[in-house]
Amino acid sequence: MSKPVTIPPSRETPELRPIGAGRTHPGNVRESNEDSLLTDPAQGLWAVADGMGGYGHGDLAADLVADALSGMRQKAGPARDLRSAVEGANEAIYGYARQSRIGLMGSTVVAALLQSGIGHIVWAGDSRAYLWRPSGLTRLTRDHSVVQDLIDRGSVAAEDAESHPHRHIITRAVGVRPSVEVEYIATPLALDERLLLCSDGLTCCVGEARISEIIDAGPDPSTISEALVEEALAEGAPDNVSVIVVALQPT
């Protein structure tokens, strides 16, 4: 399992504009879909929010995260703007849960803002971002999870992560505490590369090698998103599955 990295650009790029597409599906087992997608090419902004169904009202929590990001005011710089939006969502979710006396609510999130060929990415939880190049797939984010902490300490082998009994326990999420710690990374994106955002509903049943093959075979973000979700469904899809694929094209 790869660790988060910042990847240098592979070549000089012309003036490019971001395009993207996403798909979400409840999966083969769950009756409802508690994931939420944000796709806003005009702002260069995309996000996947995965509501935590075990806490209740996961769909509302995910929607509040997407709403906060969609209303983000870009004025302080990508990292600070993205963090502030997620922190605002945390405040909204935590406050709503307390006011309504409905117990805990929460959502994971991974969001990307594309500016001048740079992908600015924030996340909390186990929703992931990947960078695909013709040479292969690299994970950009590190899961905030019990199993990832065990892997980092050398107590669990990376190849055993998906079968570990605590694989679904996350250590960070939006809305479950009065504040949330949001991680940030930036990476260049070139013309022949793809940025993938996804919930754990994809990665729990489709391996990274297969994800890379599907992206390689797809001509555009819409086709790739569709193919990734269909692959997850074919592999059982016990959870909601959400995927966003972002690319650049000449202006």
Query: Stretch 91-98: mean pLDDT, rounded?
Result: 94
Q: Using alpha carbons only, what angle is made at residue 157 by residues 198 and 209, rounded to the nearest 5 degrees?
A: 40
Query: At 236, which CATH number?
Result: 3.60.40.10
Specify the pLDDT at position 115: 93
Domain that holds residue 157: 16-250
Residue 129 domain-assigned (yes or no): yes
Specify whether the backbone of 56 is left (phi greater than 0), alpha (psi in -120 to 50) or beta: left
How does pLDDT run across 155-185, given as a tens digit for each residue? 776 665 666 556 678 899 999 999 999 999 9
Is residue 111 within 8 Å of 69, Cβ to Cβ? yes
Residue 87 domain-assigned (yes or no): yes
List Cα–Cα distances, 46 to 1, 31, 43, 67, 149, in angstroms. 25, 25, 9, 12, 27
Query: Stretch 137-155: mean pLDDT, rounded?
Result: 83
Query: Stretch 102-124: mean pLDDT, rounded?
Result: 95
Residue 31 domain-assigned (yes or no): yes
Is residue 61 within 8 Å of 31, Cβ to Cβ? no
Residue 167 domain-assigned (yes or no): yes
CA distance 22 to 47: 9
**At residue 8, does pLDDT exceed 60?**
no
Helices (DSSP H) in 4-132: which residue ranges? 58-70, 78-100
The number of distinct structural domains making up the chain is 1
How does pLDDT run across 14-63, given as a tens digit for each residue? 578 899 999 999 999 998 999 999 999 999 999 999 999 766 689 999 99
